[in-house]
């Protein structure tokens, strides 16, 4: 995965644990990682905030992964730049990048496949008319 080296990759996988059935879905893994937002809505008021209860070591590792990924992977950088263009703060954008990368990691672990940039970011590719 982009942004993961040997040490950081081992740290992320160790924090998630090695039980294969622990996370039923990518959403469950993202919730555990603390990267998915919490949305509270009442009437016309809607507030989206970051999770405050999370595994600090995992959050730090994912933050480092996202920081490295925006430097070394062009698709991740495009996604980050799109978030920043919508006036999303740097930390919130890194959290969203990390959230996306956790979902990709879950898919790779579930299907026992290697990271493929074309597959992971295919939904973000512009459609070119012939």
Mean pLDDT of the chain: 86
For residue 62, count other CB atoms closer than 10 A to its CB. 31
d(CA 94, CA 69): 10
> 46 by DSSP, 3-state: which?
strand
- Are 103 and 16 contacting, i.e. CB atoms less than 8 angstroms apart? no
* Whether pLDDT at 130 is above 50: no
Tokens in use for 91? 């930390």
Confidence (pTM) = 0.83
Q: How do the domains of the chain map onto residue ranges?
A: 6-121
11-57 pLDDT, tens digit per residue, is 999 998 888 788 889 988 888 888 887 888 888 888 877 777 778 88
């Amino acid at each position: 995965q982009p942004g993961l080296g040997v040490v950081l990759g081992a740290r992320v996988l160790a924090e998630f644990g090695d039980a294969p059935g622990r996370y039923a879905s990518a959403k469950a893994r993202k919730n555990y990682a603390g990267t998915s937002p919490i949305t509270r809505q009442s009437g016309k008021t809607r507030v989206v905030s970051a999770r405050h209860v999370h595994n600090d070591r995992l959050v730090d590792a994912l933050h480092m992964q996202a920081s490295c990924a925006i430097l070394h992977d062009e698709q991740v950088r495009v996604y980050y730049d799109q978030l920043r263009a919508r006036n999303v703060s740097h930390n919130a954008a890194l959290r969203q990048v990390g959230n996306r990368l956790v979902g990709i990691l879950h898919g790779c672990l579930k299907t026992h496949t290697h990271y493929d940039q074309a597959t992971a970011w295919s939904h973000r590719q512009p459609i070119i008319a012939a």
